[in-house]
C-alpha cells in the first residue's frame, strides 16, 4: 500500500497525497472546518447558504461559466455542508490537476457572492429544511442530537427557519471572510500524481490564501433524557446515543470492535436479535460516530407502533449485555470483517481520499492499514472484556418519533 | 486497483444444465466479487403474488436444506464478505466481495442459497420484516412518488408493478406460492453467475459445475404484453407529504439499444446536478429543492425520467418550466458544447468505474443479463466518445417528450 505524504503548508492548509501511479484518475477531497457548529449566533444555516452561494460566480467567471469550466475539464464534483465542516469532492484526470485546483481557488478565495443570487440560495435552503418533515429518520436524529448537546453541536445542519429567512448578504460576506480560511482546512489527493508536482500545483493555486478560520466552540452535554416527537408516521423512529471512547483513548479499538460485535454484519447481535429472530424491523443498526472531541455510539431502529416498545427494549438489552463481554468467536469474526473492509476500501480512490480526510480531521494524521491492523490484533478477548465490564454502555439519550410514545422511553 | 486494461480478460461458459458463467478477470485486483443475476422481478408477477420476487430474495438468506438461517449470516461474516442483494422490476441480484482466499467459499454459499429451503417458520418471521419495509417506504414520499408514478405511467403493463407489493398481497402470500415461483423462475437458464476481479477461472468453472450438477434443466419465458403508456398529468394528494414531488416519464431506449449511450448523454444534458438545462432553469432560480434526470433501460422498454422536489407553492411554476424546457429540447435539440461537456464528464466517470471488482461485477452482470454480451470499459469509453450530435438529436425526432406523463404527489 502506498503511504500518504502529509504536510502543513505555510498558510496552515494541510496537504495529503497518496500516489497511485497506475491510475489515470485523481480523487480530491477538500474539507473546511465551516459548519453549523460554528455558524455565528443568530445565523444558523449560514454555512449551508455559503456553500450554495459560492457557486454563483468566482474569479473571472459568472455561475454558468464556472460550471462550464469544471465540465470542460471533465470534473465530476459535489459539495455539501454538514454539522462540523463543508466538503468539496471531485474526480478528474491527472493531467487536469493544476487547472482544477485553479478553479477551486477561485471558488474558495475569489467568489462573487452576488446579492441578487442569494434569494435563490435561500429558497433552496428553506425547502431543504422543510423537507425534514418528509424524512422521519433524519428529523428524529436532528432532535436526538439537540437532546444530547447544550453546545452548538446539537444544531440542525440545515439551519433555523427564522435565521435563514433573515440572514443578510452583507452578514454572510463577513462570515465568509472570517470562516473560509486555509488554517484547519484539509486538501487530500489520491491518484496518478506525484507528491512534488501536486504540492507545486497546490502552492500555485492556494499559496496566497490566508486566514485563521473560526475554530470550534467547546462541547457541552445535556444529562441523558428521553424525548418523543409526535407525528402520524407508519413507523416509529427510534434513536439512542451512548457515550463512547474517543480517538486517542487507549481502548479506542476495543470500543470499535465491540460496536462491530453489536452491529458489524448480519450475524451481529442487534441484527440477529431484533430482525432475524423477532422480525421486528427492516432496519436496525448501531454505529460509532460523533463530533470532533466527543465520540458516541448511535443506535437506530424503525418499526410499526405496536412493536416499538418491544424493539426498544430488545435494543437496550443487547447494548447493555455488551458489559458481560463478547465471545472469542465473535471477536475473531469481527476482526476478519474489519480487515476485509479495510483492504476493499483501499481499492477505491474515492473511499480512500474520504478516509484520509476523515483521519486528518479527527486525529491530525493518517493511519496506515498496518497500524490499524496491529491495533486490532492487539485487542484480545480478556482486554476487550475487561474494557466492556469497566465501561458499560448505559444511560443513553433516547429519541422516538411517531404516533405515540413507546412505554419504555417514558 | 484500476484496471491496466491489457491485463483484463473476459471468459464465459455455459454449463450442461444451461447456467451461464461469466468473468471479467483482473489479476491485479485485491478482491473478488461474485454473484447470481436472476432474470426475474415484479414484472414477472401476477397481482395475486405481488411482491414475491423481493420477498423471495429475503428468503434466500434464510438458508437451504443444508443451512439454517442464522448459519448463513455467520458464514458470510466469517469470510468478511461485503454482500447484499436487490430486486427490481426485472432482475434479482445477489452479490458479494471477499478477499481472494475466500472466493471458493463464497461461491459455494451463494450457489447453495439459490436452492432455498423456504421453511414455514422463517417465512412467517420474514413476512413481518417485509411488512416493516413497506411501512418504511410509506413514510418516504420521494420513494412512493416512483412506485405510484410508474404504476400510473405503465398503465396496466407489468413494468408498473411494485417491487415491494402491498401490505395486502404480502399478508396473503403463502409459502407454496413462493416455492412454485422459485422453482419456475430460478432455473439455470434464467440465471447468470458473474465474477469480477482476481478470479481463478478454471477452478471456478469446475467448482460451479460440480455444485450445480443436480439442477434440473428447464426453460422459462417472460411475457411482453403491449405497452400503452399514459400521457398527460396526474396529481394525487398524500397525507404523509408536506412537500410536492414531481416525476416526468417519457419513452426512451431499451437496454440492448445501441442508442443507449446517446440517451445517457441526453439525460445528462437535461438534468445533471450542477450544470444542466434543468439545473439552470429550476435549481439556480431556487424553484426546487432538487431536480434530476435519468434513463431506465429495461427489457424491450426504455424510459426517460425526471424528478423534482419543491415547495407546494411552486408546483405550477415548476410544471410550467418543465414543459417549456422539454418543448425547447424537442424543437431545437442540444448544442455541440453541451455534448462535449457531457462526454468529458462521462469519460472521467468511466475511469473511476473500473476501480473495484464490485463495481465491475454489477456492470458486467447486468449488461450480460440484458444483452448476452460483454463490453470492456475501454469499449464503453470508445462508444461514448463516438456519440455525435446527430445521435443525440436523433433521439428527439420521435418527439418522446410530447408523450410525457407528469405525476405529482402533493400534500393532502
Phi, psi of A13 (to 5 degrees): -75, 130
How confident is residue A123, by pLDDT bands cut at 50, 70 and 90? very high
In a domain, A218, yes or no: no
Instruction: Of B227, B119, B126, B136, give the one whose Cα is nearest residue B176.
Output: B119
Residue B2 has pLDDT above 50, yes or no: no
User: What does the pLDDT look like over B35-53, one tens digit per residue?
Assistant: 999 999 999 999 999 999 9
Alpha helices in A110-218 (DSSP H): 115-130, 136-148, 161-166, 169-179, 195-206
Q: Which of A131, A278, A345 to mutate to test the interface with B (most CBs of B within 10 A)?
A: A131
User: What does the pLDDT look like over A127-147, one tens digit per residue?
Assistant: 999 999 999 999 999 999 999
* Helix (H) and strand (E) counts in chain B: 15, 11
How confident is residue B380, by pLDDT bands cut at 50, 70 and 90? very high
In a domain, B216, yes or no: no
Instruction: Of B390, B231, B218, give the one whose Cα is nearest residue B323.
Output: B231
**pLDDT at residue number B1:** 42
In a domain, B226, yes or no: no
Orientation angle between helical segments A369-377 and A328-347, nearest 10 degrees: 180
Helix (H, G, I), strand (E, B) or coil at A55: coil
* Host domain of residue A21: 4-206
Domain shared by A120 and A262, yes or no: no
User: What does the pLDDT look like over A61-115, one tens digit per residue?
Assistant: 999 999 999 999 999 999 999 999 999 999 999 999 999 999 999 999 999 999 9
Nearest Cβ partner of B1 from A22, A73, A122?
A22
> Does any CB of chain B come closer than 8 Å to the CB of residue A269?
no
In a domain, B300, yes or no: yes
Average pLDDT over chain B reads 96
Q: CA-based angle B345:B347:B352, to the nearest 5?
A: 95
Indicate yes or no: CB of B97 within 8 angstroms of CB of A344.
yes
Domain shared by B82 and B124, yes or no: yes
Please answer whether residues A357 and A186 qualify as being in contact, where contact means their C-beta atoms are separated by less than 8 angstroms.
Answer: yes
Strand ranges, E, within B133-227: 191-197
Question: What percent of chain A stands above pLDDT 90?
Answer: 94
Mean pLDDT confidence for B235-262 = 97
Domain shared by B106 and B146, yes or no: yes
ipTM of the complex: 0.95
- The residue out of B211, B245, B261 marking a domain boundary is B211
Name the residue with cell 453541451. Answer: B338
In a domain, B218, yes or no: no
**pLDDT at residue number A340:** 92
Domain shared by A238 and A323, yes or no: yes
Please give the DSSP secondary-structure letter assigned to residue B100.
G
* Calpha distance A266→B73 (Å, rounded): 5
* Residue A36 belongs to domain with CATH number: 3.30.830.10
In a domain, A219, yes or no: no
**pLDDT at residue number B6:** 59
Indicate yes or no: CB of B77 within 8 angstroms of CB of A277.
no
Looking at the structure of chain B, the number of domains it has is 2
Per-residue cell: B50: 405481488
**pLDDT at residue number B3:** 47
Neighbour-count burial of A395, counting CB atoms closer than 10 A to its CB (0-12 exposed, 13-18 middle, 19+ buried)? exposed
Domain shared by A39 and A182, yes or no: yes
pTM here is 0.96
Alpha helices in A59-135 (DSSP H): 63-72, 97-109, 115-130
In chain B, residues with a C-beta closer than 8 Å to the C-beta of A337 are 77, 80
Please give the DSSP secondary-structure letter assigned to residue A271.
I
Domain shared by B192 and B291, yes or no: no
| Letter string b/e over residues A16-33, b meaning 16 or more CB atoms within 10 A of that residue's CB | bbbbbeebebbbbbbbbb
Average pLDDT over chain A reads 96
Domain shared by B85 and B144, yes or no: yes
In a domain, A211, yes or no: no
* Calpha distance B347→B381 (Å, rounded): 6
Alpha helices in A274-327 (DSSP H): 308-321
Handedness of CA B91, B92, B94, B95 (dihedral sign): positive
Residue A409 has pLDDT above 90, yes or no: no
Mean pLDDT confidence for B70-88 = 97
Measure A282 CA to nearest chain B CA, in Å.
5
Orientation angle between helical segments B336-353 and B357-371, nearest 10 degrees: 120
Quote the radius of gyration of chain A (alpha carbons, Å): 23
User: What does the pLDDT look like over B105-153, one tens digit per residue?
Assistant: 999 999 999 999 999 999 999 999 999 999 999 999 999 999 999 999 9
Residue A385 has pLDDT above 90, yes or no: yes
Domain shared by B355 and B283, yes or no: yes
Residue B64 has pLDDT above 80, yes or no: yes
Domain shared by A102 and A63, yes or no: yes
Looking at the structure of chain A, the number of domains it has is 2
Residue B246 has pLDDT above 50, yes or no: yes
* Calpha distance B226→B224 (Å, rounded): 7
Mean pLDDT confidence for B290-312 = 98
Between positions 11 and 30 of A, the ones with CB within 8 A of B are 20, 22-25, 27
User: What does the pLDDT look like over B193-202, one tens digit per residue?
Assistant: 999 999 999 9
* Host domain of residue B191: 5-211
* Calpha distance B289→B273 (Å, rounded): 12
Instruction: Of A159, A185, A182, give the one whose Cα is nearest residue A172.
Output: A159
Please answer whether residues B355 and B2 qualify as being in contact, where contact means their C-beta atoms are separated by less than 8 angstroms.
Answer: yes
Indicate yes or no: CB of B288 within 8 angstroms of CB of A127.
yes
Domain shared by B309 and B269, yes or no: yes
In chain B, residues with a C-beta closer than 8 Å to the C-beta of A267 are 70, 73-74, 76-77
Domain shared by A329 and A190, yes or no: no
User: What does the pLDDT look like over B214-239, one tens digit per residue?
Assistant: 999 999 999 999 999 999 999 999 99
Domain shared by A178 and A264, yes or no: no
Domain shared by A306 and A245, yes or no: yes
Q: CA-based angle A271:A274:A279, to the nearest 5?
A: 105
In a domain, B90, yes or no: yes
Among A345-349, B177-181, B381-385, B398-402, whose mean pLDDT is lowest?
A345-349
In a domain, A159, yes or no: yes
Please answer whether residues B51 and B166 qualify as being in contact, where contact means their C-beta atoms are separated by less than 8 angstroms.
Answer: yes
User: What does the pLDDT look like over B25-39, one tens digit per residue?
Assistant: 999 999 999 999 999
Please give the DSSP secondary-structure letter assigned to residue A284.
E
Alpha helices in B28-99 (DSSP H): 52-60, 69-78
In a domain, B295, yes or no: yes
Domain shared by B44 and B154, yes or no: yes
Please answer whether residues B36 and B149 qualify as being in contact, where contact means their C-beta atoms are separated by less than 8 angstroms.
Answer: no
In this structure, how many other beta carbons lie within 10 angstroms of the beta carbon of residue B76?
24
* Calpha distance A24→A321 (Å, rounded): 49
Domain shared by B281 and B404, yes or no: yes
> Does any CB of chain A come closer than 8 Å to the CB of residue B70?
yes
A222 Cβ neighbours under 8 A, 6+ residues apart: A147, A148, A149, A150, A154, A397
* Residue B345 belongs to domain with CATH number: 3.30.830.10
Domain shared by B185 and B262, yes or no: no
Measure B306 CA to nearest chain A CA, in Å.
18
User: What does the pLDDT look like over A352-384, one tens digit per residue?
Assistant: 999 999 999 999 999 988 899 999 999 999 999
Domain shared by A201 and A72, yes or no: yes
User: What does the pLDDT look like over B327-347, one tens digit per residue?
Assistant: 999 999 999 999 999 999 999
Domain shared by A178 and A289, yes or no: no
Domain shared by B257 and B182, yes or no: no
- The residue out of A171, A206, A241 marking a domain boundary is A206
Domain shared by A83 and A14, yes or no: yes
Domain shared by A249 and A177, yes or no: no
In this structure, how many other beta carbons lie within 10 angstroms of the beta carbon of residue B86?
14
Domain shared by A385 and A241, yes or no: yes
In a domain, A132, yes or no: yes
User: On the CB side of A99, how many CA atoms lie within 13 Å of its CA?
Assistant: 14
Please answer whether residues A135 and B140 qualify as being in contact, where contact means their C-beta atoms are separated by less than 8 angstroms.
Answer: yes
Alpha helices in B186-259 (DSSP H): 201-211
Instruction: Of B25, B18, B7, give the one whose Cα is nearest residue B203.
Output: B25
> Does any CB of chain A come closer than 8 Å to the CB of residue B109?
no
* Calpha distance A7→B384 (Å, rounded): 39
How confident is residue B7, by pLDDT bands cut at 50, 70 and 90? confident
Mean pLDDT confidence for A327-350 = 93
In this structure, how many other beta carbons lie within 10 angstroms of the beta carbon of residue A163?
17
How confident is residue A406, by pLDDT bands cut at 50, 70 and 90? low
How confident is residue A248, by pLDDT bands cut at 50, 70 and 90? confident
In a domain, B272, yes or no: yes
In chain B, residues with a C-beta closer than 8 Å to the C-beta of A130 are 242-243, 311
Q: CA-based angle A211:A214:A218, to the nearest 5?
A: 150
In a domain, B344, yes or no: yes
Mean pLDDT confidence for A135-162 = 98
Amino acid at each position: 500500500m502506498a503511504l500518504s505524504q502529509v504536510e502543513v503548508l505555510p498558510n496552515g492548509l494541510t496537504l495529503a497525497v497518496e500516489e497511485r501511479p497506475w491510475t489515470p484518475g485523481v480523487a480530491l477531497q477538500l474539507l473546511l472546518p465551516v459548519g453549523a457548529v460554528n455558524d455565528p449566533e443568530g445565523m444558523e444555516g449560514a454555512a449551508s447558504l455559503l456553500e450554495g452561494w459560492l457557486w454563483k460566480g468566482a474569479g473571472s467567471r459568472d455561475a454558468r461559466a464556472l460550471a462550464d469550466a469544471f465540465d470542460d475539464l471533465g470534473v465530476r464534483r459535489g459539495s455539501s455542508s454538514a454539522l462540523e465542516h463543508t466538503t468539496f469532492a471531485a474526480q478528474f484526470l491527472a493531467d487536469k490537476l493544476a487547472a482544477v485546483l485553479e478553479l477551486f481557488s477561485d471558488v474558495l478565495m475569489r467568489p462573487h457572492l452576488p446579492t441578487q443570487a442569494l434569494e435563490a440560495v435561500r429558497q433552496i435552503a428553506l425547502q431543504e429544511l422543510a423537507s425534514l418533515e418528509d424524512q422521519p429518520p433524519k428529523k428524529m436524529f436532528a432532535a436526538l442530537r439537540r437532546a444530547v448537546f447544550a453546545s452548538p453541536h446539537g444544531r440542525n445542519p440545515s439551519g433555523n427557519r427564522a435565521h435563514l429567512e433573515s440572514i443578510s448578504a452583507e452578514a454572510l460576506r463577513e462570515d465568509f471572510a472570517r470562516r473560509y480560511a486555509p488554517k484547519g482546512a484539509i486538501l487530500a489527493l489520491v491518484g496518478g500524481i506525484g507528491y512534488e508536482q501536486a504540492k507545486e500545483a497546490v502552492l500555485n493555486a492556494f499559496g496566497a490564501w490566508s486566514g485563521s478560520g473560526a475554530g470550534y466552540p467547546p462541547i457541552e452535554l445535556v444529562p441523558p433524557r428521553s424525548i418523543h416527537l409526535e407525528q402520524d408516521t407508519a413507523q416509529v423512529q427510534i434513536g439512542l446515543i451512548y457515550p463512547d471512547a474517543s480517538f486517542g483513548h487507549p481502548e479506542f479499538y476495543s470500543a470499535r470492535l465491540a460496536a462491530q460485535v453489536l452491529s458489524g454484519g448480519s450475524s451481529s447481535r442487534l441484527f440477529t436479535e431484533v430482525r432475524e429472530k423477532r422480525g421486528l424491523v427492516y432496519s436496525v443498526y448501531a454505529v460509532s460516530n460523533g463530533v470532533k472531541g466527543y465520540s458516541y455510539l448511535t443506535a437506530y431502529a424503525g418499526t410499526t407502533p405496536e412493536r416499538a416498545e418491544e424493539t426498544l427494549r430488545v435494543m437496550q438489552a443487547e447494548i447493555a449485555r455488551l458489559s458481560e463481554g463478547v465471545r472469542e468467536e465473535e471477536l475473531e469474526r469481527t476482526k476478519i470483517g474489519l480487515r476485509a473492509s479495510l483492504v476493499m476500501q483501499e481499492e477505491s480512490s474515492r473511499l480512500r481520499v474520504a478516509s484520509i480526510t476523515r483521519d486528518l480531521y479527527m486525529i491530525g494524521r493518517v493511519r496506515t492499514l498496518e497500524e490499524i491492523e496491529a491495533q486490532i490484533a492487539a485487542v484480545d478477548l480478556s482486554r476487550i472484556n475487561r474494557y466492556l465490564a469497566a465501561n458499560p454502555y448505559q444511560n443513553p439519550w433516547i429519541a422516538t418519533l411517531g404516533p405515540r410514545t413507546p412505554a419504555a422511553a417514558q | 486497483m484500476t484496471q491496466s486494461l491489457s491485463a483484463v480478460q473476459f471468459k464465459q461458459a455455459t454449463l450442461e444444465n444451461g447456467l451461464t458463467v461469466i468473468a471479467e478477470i483482473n489479476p491485479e485486483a485485491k478482491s473478488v466479487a461474485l454473484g447470481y443475476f436472476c432474470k426475474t422481478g415484479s414484472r414477472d408477477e401476477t397481482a395475486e403474488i405481488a411482491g414475491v420476487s423481493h420477498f423471495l430474495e429475503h428468503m434466500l438468506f434464510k438458508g437451504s436444506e443444508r443451512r439454517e438461517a442464522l448459519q448463513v449470516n455467520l458464514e458470510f461474516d466469517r469470510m468478511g464478505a461485503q454482500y447484499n442483494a436487490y430486486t427490481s422490476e426485472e432482475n434479482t441480484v445477489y452479490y458479494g466481495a471477499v478477499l481472494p482466499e475466500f472466493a471458493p467459499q463464497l461461491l459455494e454459499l451463494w450457489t447453495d442459497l439459490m436452492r432455498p429451503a423456504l421453511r414455514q417458520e422463517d417465512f412467517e418471521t420474514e413476512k413481518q420484516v417485509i411488512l416493516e419495509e413497506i411501512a418504511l417506504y410509506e413514510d418516504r414520499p420521494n420513494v412512493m412518488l416512483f412506485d405510484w408514478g410508474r404504476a400510473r405511467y405503465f398503465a396496466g403493463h407489468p413494468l408498473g408493478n411494485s417491487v415491494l407489493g402491498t401490505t395486502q398481497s404480502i399478508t396473503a402470500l403463502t409459502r407454496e406460492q413462493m416455492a412454485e415461483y422459485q422453482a419456475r423462475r430460478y432455473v439455470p437458464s434464467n440465471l447468470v453467475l458473474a465474477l469480477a476481479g482476481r478470479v481463478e477461472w478454471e477452478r471456478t468453472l469446475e467448482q460451479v459445475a460440480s455444485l450445480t450438477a443436480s439442477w434440473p434443466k428447464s426453460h422459462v419465458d417472460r411475457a411482453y404484453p403491449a405497452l400503452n403508456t399514459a400521457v398527460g398529468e396526474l396529481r394525487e394528494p398524500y397525507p404523509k407529504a408536506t412537500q410536492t414531488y414531481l416525476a416526468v416519464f417519457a419513452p426512451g431506449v431499451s437496454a440492448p439499444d445501441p442508442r443507449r449511450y446517446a440517451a445517457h448523454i441526453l439525460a445528462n444534458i437535461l438534468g445533471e446536478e450542477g450544470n444542466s438545462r434543468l439545473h439552470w432553469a429550476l435549481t439556480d432560480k431556487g424553484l426546487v429543492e432538487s431536480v434530476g434526470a435519468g434513463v431506465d433501460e429495461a427489457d424491450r422498454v426504455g424510459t426517460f425520467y425526471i424528478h423534482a422536489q419543491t415547495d407546494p407553492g411552486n408546483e405550477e411554476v415548476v410544471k410550467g418550466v418543465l414543459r417549456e424546457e422539454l418543448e425547447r429540447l424537442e424543437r431545437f435539440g442540444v448544442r455541440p458544447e453541451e455534448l462535449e461537456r457531457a462526454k468529458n464528464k462521462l469519460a472521467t466517470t468511466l475511469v473511476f468505474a473500473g476501480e473495484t471488482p464490485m463495481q465491475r461485477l454489477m456492470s458486467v452482470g447486468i449488461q450480460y443479463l440484458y444483452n448476452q454480451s460483454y463490453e470492456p470499459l475501454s469499449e464503453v469509453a470508445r462508444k461514448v466518445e463516438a456519440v455525435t450530435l446527430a445521435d443525440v438529436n436523433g433521439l428527439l425526432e420521435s418527439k418522446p417528450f410530447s408523450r410525457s406523463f407528469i405525476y405529482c404527489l402533493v400534500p393532502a
